[in-house]
Structure 1
Amino acid sequence: MTTITARVLSPIRVLTAGLLVAMGVSLATPANAASGYPINKPREVDWSFSGPFGTYDKAQLQRGLKIYTEVCAACHSMNLLFYRNLADLGYTDEQIKNYAAEYEVTDGPNDDGEMFERPARATDRFKGPYLNVKEAAYANNGALPPDFSLLAKARAPERGFPTFIFDIFTMYAENGADYIYSLLVGYQEPPEGVEVSEGLHYNPYFVAGSALAMAQPLYEESVEYDDGTVASLDQQAKDISAFMMWAADPNLPQRKQRGFIVVLFLLGFAGLLYATKKKVWANVPH
C-alpha cells in the first residue's frame, strides 16, 4: 500500500514542484517589470546586418573602431578581441601591424628574468586602459567601466512576450545594438520631479535604473571620420553600436543565413515526408 501511495504521490510532487517553479517565474517577471527599467524601450534601428541576409558594413565598422580608439578606449577595455580580428573590418596585415604597434604591452620574462614592454603585435589582445579592475574602479569613482567585448550581447534587454515569438521569424538579433545606440543618444535633463544623485546622469534608456555613472561620451563631431562621413551624434552612435555588435558576435550574418537555409530545408523535407506518406498509404484501407 505504501509503495502504491508513493507511486501516486511522486507524480503529484513533481507536478506541484513544476507549478511552484512556474509560479515563481510568473511572479518574478512582474517584479522585474515593476521596476520600470528601461523607462523607454530601445529604438529599433535599420542595421545593415538586420534580417536573414544582412551583413556587416565594413566602412561603418572602421568608423566604429575609430570612435572606440579615440573616445571609448580611455575607459573601456576589449579583452576578448585580438588585433588580428581587425582583418574582418577590411584592414590589411600591414595596417593591422601599424595599428597594434601604437600600443605597448608587457611581455617576458626575458633572459634576465624580468618583464619588459614591447610594441603590440597582431597576435596580442587589445590593450586595456587599466592594469586591473581595482585601478579601473578607483579611476572612475568606484564605478567599474564594463568590458566592451561582449557588451552588445550582455546588455540586450529582453523583448518580452509576444515580441520574441515574432523575432524568431524575422531573425531579429539586434536588440543589443539597438540598446547601445538608444543609450548613447538618450542622455537628457531629468524631467520635473525626478531627482538624480550627484555623479549620475539621467538616461531613460538605461537598463538598470533611470541614471548611470557614465557621462555622455559622444557629442556632435566628437571625431573626424577619415572617409568624410559627417560625424553627427546619431551617426557616431550607430557606428560604435555596430562595431560593438561585431565584436560580440562577428559571425552573426553567417549564422542567420545558415539558419534560414536550414529552415527552408526542414520545410521542404517535411513536405517530402507528407507526400511520401500520402503515396505509400494511398491504397491501404483504414
Structure 2
Amino acid sequence: MFKRFTIALTFASLLATGGAQAAGGEGYVKDHAFSFEGPFGSYDQDQLRRGLKIYTEVCSSCHGMKFVPIRSLGDEGGPHLSKEEVRVYASDYIEVWDQNLNEGEGDYRAAVPADHFPKSGNANAPDLSLMAKARAGFHGPAGTGINQLVKGMGGSEYILSLLTSYTGEEKTSAGVTLYENTAYPGGWISMGAPLEDEYVEFEDGYPNDLQHLAEDISAFLMWTAEPKLNDRKRAGAVGVLILGFLTLLLYFANKALWRPIKYRKD
C-alpha cells in the first residue's frame, strides 16, 4: 500500500514539474550573445520570423501561446509581417474554438488576427507565451544574484541550452520515459528532443542545424514574453539622456547660485 502511494506521489510530482525527476541540482546553462541583449540590443526580425516558422511546424503540436495575440506578429520590433501575411498565417495555420458556432454548441474555425494563439493541446505541455521570462538560466553565486546582474536572467539561454543538451540516454521511472538533459534541473525530462539537424527548412537557405534552430526559437520565445523590449530600451535611453541633461543644468545652476557667496570678499 505504501509502495503504491509512493509511486503515485512520484508520478504526480513529475506531472507538476513538467516531467523532471526531482533528484539532482541545477542544470548547466551556457551563456549566449543574443542580438537583443544589452542596453542597446534589439530583436533580429529575420530571426524572429524563422523562430515563428519553427514554432508553427514543431512546437505548436503540443505547446500553446494563449497570451499572444496573432495580430502582434505584425508589430514593428517583432516578426513585422504585413497585414495580409498575418491574415493568411492565422487562417492557414491556426484553428480556434468558437462557442457561438453550431447553434451555440461550439466548433472550430479558422483564426483571424484578432484571435490569440491557442492554448496547449497537451495538458502536460506548458504554455510558451511567457516561458523565456518564467525561467532563470543564471543564479548566484551564493544567492547574491551577481550572475543575473551581469548576464541577465537567462531565460532565452535556458531554452537554448535545454534544446541542445540531450545526451540520447533514456530511462523509465514510475512508468514514465525520461530523457537525459544536462541543462534541465535534475538531469532528466519527460519531453523528448523536439529538434534535430535539418528538422525545419528555410527558404533563404539559412543554416538549419540544431544550434541555429535552437537559437531562433529561443529568440522568438523571448519576443513572445517581452514584445515591447525594443520600445522599452528606446524609452530608457531617452530617459537617461534627459536625466543626464538635467543633472548638468542642476550642476551649473548650483555653481552660479553659490559663486557670489563662495568668492565674496568680507
How far the C-alpha of 1:196 sits from its partner, in A, is 7.7
| 1:156 paired residue among 120, 126, 136 | 136
Q: Is 1:284 matched with 2:264? A: no
Distance 2:27 2:147 in 1: 19
Contact 2:69 2:114 in 1 (8 A): yes
The letter of the residue matching 2:247 is A
Q: Which has the higher helix share?
A: 1
2:109 aligned residue: 118
Q: Is 1:212 matched with 2:189? A: yes
1:145 aligned residue: 125
How far the C-alpha of 1:165 sits from its partner, in A, is 7.7
| 1:187 paired residue among 152, 166, 170 | 166
The letter of the residue matching 2:98 is D
| 1:60 paired residue among 47, 51, 73 | 47
Per the alignment, in what secondary structure is the counterpart of residue 65 of structure 2?
coil
The letter of the residue matching 2:205 is G
Q: Which has the higher strand share?
A: 2
Which one has the largest radius of gyration? Answer: 1
Partner deviation per Cα, 1:90-126 (whole Å, 9 max, x = no partner): 3222222221112332224258433233211111111
Which runs of 4 or more aligned residues in structure 1 lie more than 3 Å from their structure 2 counterparts after TM superposition? 110-114, 157-162, 164-167, 195-198
How far the C-alpha of 1:158 sits from its partner, in A, is 4.7
Residue ranges of structure 1 left out of the alignment (5+ in a row): 1-34, 131-135, 138-143
Contact 1:73 1:128 in 2 (8 A): no
Per the alignment, in what secondary structure is the counterpart of residue 34 of structure 2?
coil
Per the alignment, in what secondary structure is the counterpart of residue 188 of structure 1?
strand
Distance 1:110 1:39 in 2: 47
How far the C-alpha of 1:263 sits from its partner, in A, is 2.2
Taking structure 1 as the reference length, the TM-score comes to 0.72
2:97 aligned residue: 106
| 2:217 paired residue among 229, 234, 240 | 240
Taking structure 2 as the reference length, the TM-score comes to 0.77
How far the C-alpha of 1:155 sits from its partner, in A, is 0.8
Partner deviation per Cα, 1:119-157 (whole Å, 9 max, x = no partner): 111111112452xxxxx33xxxxxx11100000000123
Q: Is 1:259 matched with 2:236? A: yes
RMSD (Å) for aligned C-alpha atoms: 2.7
Contact 2:95 2:110 in 1 (8 A): yes
Distance 1:72 1:104 in 2: 15
1:92 aligned residue: 82
Per the alignment, in what secondary structure is the counterpart of residue 283 of structure 1?
helix
| 1:72 paired residue among 56, 59, 70 | 59
Percent identity for Structure 1 against Structure 2: 40
The letter of the residue matching 1:55 is S
